[in-house]
Structure 1
Amino acid sequence: MPAGCAPFSQAEYDRRIAKTRAAMAEAGLDAVFVTDPSNQAWLTGYDGWSFYVHQGVILRMEGEPVWWGRSMDALGGQRTCWMAAENIHGYSDHYIQSTVYHPMQDLAEHFARMGLASARIGVEMENYYYSAKAHAVLTEELPNATLVDATALVNWQRLVKSEEEIGFIRKAARISEKVVTTALERAAPGVRKNDLVADIFHAGITGVDDIWGDYPAIVPLTPSGLDATAAHLTWNGDEMRAGEATFFELSGCYRRYHAPLCRTVFLGTPSDEMRRAEAAQMEG
């Protein structure tokens, strides 16, 4: 079994690494630097709320992946990743929010030590967690390397789920059922939206039986009335009202795996227009 507390079997991680390396070979890459937190977790098991600083996974064509990030988070890497401790690396805090130093300077040194100073390295260019500044510094620090856009290279390998992953999604689905049932049962005129969301969070985190709930990738979206015509609104302290519809976009989460559901509740007697909309949705 993997070291630390990685959630999957070693065979599952070996399968993922092999798929990714096949895609790397097809793209002519010697290594990839993966910054998307979901891709990091998929390859290594790493799971920490640390993606506000620079971190990532280096995968070469041979050997274990290398997790790289802030020194204090490297301890979390040892607790959650399946790799050996020597493949968990942390950089000093003097790189954090500095105008003089940048974490990519440290990363470039790692690439050089790995014999990748002149390699073709894939990076996730279209990614929230790989900034323009990071790319500029890494390019400057590795003048003989070729940095290639490898956005979504790992994501495509994640598309078809394994049996182990499907098992996790089924657990997340049981939590989702509880979350949505809680939202529908407790929605009523006079209930403050923030109180309802608190119940939704409680249902999702407590989970079902021995299936504990994790924090989902998105907060509960619960717009009511005209607010429901705007995408991605969260909640406020207003009371729910009779004659008003509320759109719920919710998901349970188990070990980072989700099973999202969307439902609409109408407090009162729906109008003919609402009924027609329901019929169109059901037909779709």
Structure 2
Amino acid sequence: MPALPFSRSEYDRRLALTRKAMEAWGIDVLVVTAPAGMNWLTGYDGWSFYVDQAVLVTPTGMPFWWGRLMDANGARRTSYIDEDHIIYYADRYVQAAGCHPMDDLADKIRELGHGKNRIAVEMTAYYYSAAGHKALVEGLPEATIIDGSGLVDWQRVVKSDEELAFMRKAAKISDRVMSHAMEIAEPGMKKNRFVGELMKTAIDGVDDAWGDYPAIMPLLPSGADASAPHLTWNSDEFRMGEATFIEQAGCYRRYHAPLSRTIFFGTPPDHMKAAADAAVA
């Protein structure tokens, strides 16, 4: 049995919330394809969401993990799901012409006795493709397939005490990263070296809170580039008379505490001081 991040009672709580929402929506089977949702429901934590995979929630019993054959061991090593609820498709389906992994999922859903039921999928999930949806609909002609986007997300909004403890650990990492950023930043320092230091600090973590990989890379635009959001880094040097904002999230076991800070080398202009005062207020 893998060492789960949370207690089984915490996972039971999450599953009960999800099933209550499914009942309210009139859903018999929920197909969860968002990586965060799969992790939240089962503990599954594999960096393989670039291929089709899902967690199937039915009205009773343990959820099913479904994915690529080689990823099934990831489900065994990171989730609480029993062996008979880990189902998979052959690797020959991956990026193959003439077939799609969702063909297999449709077969599996019929085998589980839900081929004529009301099935919800996450139409807005990043890794749920148009081709996959087409294959699933065609493979389940007698089922009613609806959009269940947001159902799991809304159950995740209010955090449990166990989750808050993780988020506080992530926040300690974020604090340490930004403190280190202020310690080492100086004019003439190349941004890629600066980011390397920050990422090392984030992964090293704080005390017993080791750093996990974040959902987004450090963002580091300077000067006019700071007028655009979400620019990462390059090999430019920090300059006097220029502002840079730094966005980075400390992350502990998939839980994030994003933080943004702005640095300015020299004397900042009055309008920037006023903006800083307004932000603090």
Matches of 2:32 and 2:3, distance apart in 1: 21
State the 1:197 CA deviation.
0.3
State the 1:65 CA deviation.
0.6
1:190-233 CA distance string (max 9 Å, x none): 00000000001000001011211000110000111111110110
Which amino acid is the alignment partner of residue 110 of structure 2?
A
Structure 1 runs (4+) greater than 6 angstroms displaced: none
Question: Which secondary structure does the structure 2 equivalent of 1:147 belong to?
Answer: strand
1:144-190 CA distance string (max 9 Å, x none): 00111000100000000000000100111111111111112211100
Matches within 5 A, 1:191-202: 191-202=189-200
Matches of 2:198 and 2:86, distance apart in 1: 36
Matches of 1:83 and 1:48, distance apart in 2: 14
State the 1:99 CA deviation.
1.2
Residue equivalent to 1:56? 54
Matches within 5 A, 1:108-127: 108-127=106-125
Residue equivalent to 1:92? 90
State the 1:64 CA deviation.
0.4
Matches of 2:273 and 2:253, distance apart in 1: 38
Question: Which secondary structure does the structure 2 equivalent of 1:177 belong to?
Answer: helix
- Per the normalisation by structure 1, the TM-score is 0.97
Asked if the contact 1:6/1:46 (under 8 Å) is kept, the reply is no
Asked if the contact 1:241/1:267 (under 8 Å) is kept, the reply is yes
Gaps of 5+ in 2: none
Matches of 1:192 and 1:219, distance apart in 2: 17
Matches within 5 A, 1:131-150: 131-150=129-148
Asked if the contact 1:5/1:82 (under 8 Å) is kept, the reply is no
Question: Which secondary structure does the structure 2 equivalent of 1:40 belong to?
Answer: helix
Which amino acid is the alignment partner of residue 246 of structure 1?
T
Residue equivalent to 1:75? 73
Identity among equivalent pairs (%): 55
Matches of 1:102 and 1:45, distance apart in 2: 26
Matches of 1:247 and 1:238, distance apart in 2: 14
Matches of 1:280 and 1:211, distance apart in 2: 33
Matches of 1:146 and 1:179, distance apart in 2: 49
State the 1:5 CA deviation.
2.9
- Per the normalisation by structure 2, the TM-score is 0.98
Residue equivalent to 2:247? 249
- Select which of 20, 25, 28 maps to 1:27: 25
Which amino acid is the alignment partner of residue 135 of structure 1?
H
- Select which of 257, 271, 274 maps to 1:273: 271
Matches of 1:6 and 1:220, distance apart in 2: 28
Which amino acid is the alignment partner of residue 253 of structure 1?
C
Question: Which secondary structure does the structure 2 equivalent of 1:90 belong to?
Answer: strand
Matches within 5 A, 1:9-20: 9-20=7-18
Matches of 1:182 and 1:200, distance apart in 2: 7
More moved, 274-283 vs 150-159: 274-283
- Select which of 156, 159, 171 maps to 1:158: 156
Q: What's the C-alpha RMSD, in Å, of the aligned pairs?
A: 0.8
More moved, 274-283 vs 189-198: 274-283
Asked if the contact 1:6/1:44 (under 8 Å) is kept, the reply is no
State the 1:6 CA deviation.
2.2
Question: Which secondary structure does the structure 1 equivalent of 2:249 belong to?
Answer: strand
Which amino acid is the alignment partner of residue 28 of structure 1?
G
Matches of 1:90 and 1:117, distance apart in 2: 18
Q: How many residues align?
A: 281
Residue equivalent to 1:212? 210
Residue equivalent to 2:173? 175
Matches within 5 A, 1:217-256: 217-256=215-254
Matches of 1:33 and 1:174, distance apart in 2: 35
Matches of 1:11 and 1:106, distance apart in 2: 32
